[in-house]
Amino acid sequence: MKTSKNRSNVVFLTELAVLTAVVLILQLGGIAIPLPFLATPVSLVLLPIVLGGMHLGPGAGAWLGAVFGIITIIGGVSGKDAFTAILLGDHPILTVLLCLIKAIAAGLIAGLVYKALKKKNEYLALYTASVLAPVINTGIFILGALAMSDTLSANFVADGQTVIYFLVIGCAGLNFVFELLVNVLFAPALKRVTDVLGKGKI
């Protein structure tokens, strides 16, 4: 019994380590290669975060989200993520909290919702979790960024625009649509991955 439990722990930690590495690679790649028509780098890390929350549980989703947030902060501190760097310069504590809270909440809530809905309908659980992750990530970002409207107005908002317009349309809008489409399109693949990994669980 003890051996079986130890083996389960090793499998869990191994899978979590692999997903953590995927988050690191995807987020570092997103910071290193920003798209010129977007104010903030496109994030693909929500896929492994959602996968971790579904397969390994809400705690794993929260951990992977925390890794995502920490890498975003490092990108701002290093200057590779110019948008985050500017926010850090004027509002360091708020920016750090925002980067962590939005990412952790995305992974945690996606995992909790999947766990709650899985017994009723696995596909409903899958798609709901996949959609919720970018909704939560972007929604909290917009709400938090509004508290830094002075910095946004001084550095990013064009004449005639409002901070809300910049955040919803110019900043988060395209990112959100891209992340939502990616999550929805790859949701079936996430299920196949969880099915395969599930067969290997003890």
Mind listing the pLDDT tens digit for each residue in 43-57?
678 999 999 999 999
Span 132-156, pLDDT tens digits: 999 999 999 999 999 999 999 999 8
CA 118 vs. chain centroid, Å, equals 21
Dihedral angle computed from the Cα positions of residues 85, 87, 93 and 94, in that order, rounded to the nearest 10 degrees: -140
- Which pLDDT does position 202 carry in this prediction? 37
pTM (predicted TM-score): 0.87
Q: How high is the pLDDT of residue 201?
A: 47
Q: Cα-flanking dihedrals φ and ψ of residue 148, to 5°?
A: -115, 30
31 vs 75, higher pLDDT = 75
Q: pLDDT at residue 86 above 80?
A: yes
Cα–Cα distance list, 115 to 25, 73, 107, 123, 155 (Å):
27, 29, 12, 12, 42
Please, which contacts does 147-151 make with residues 24 or more away whose CB atoms are closer than 8 Å?
147/91, 147/94, 148/87, 148/90, 148/91, 148/94, 148/95, 150/90, 151/86, 151/87, 151/89, 151/90, 151/91
Domains, the chain, in order of start with CATH, read 2-200 (1.10.1760.20)
> What's the confidence (pLDDT) of residue 11?
85
Longest dimension (CA), the chain: 67
What is the DSSP-derived secondary structure letter of residue 43? -
- Residue 168 CA to residue 175 CA, distance in Å, equals 10
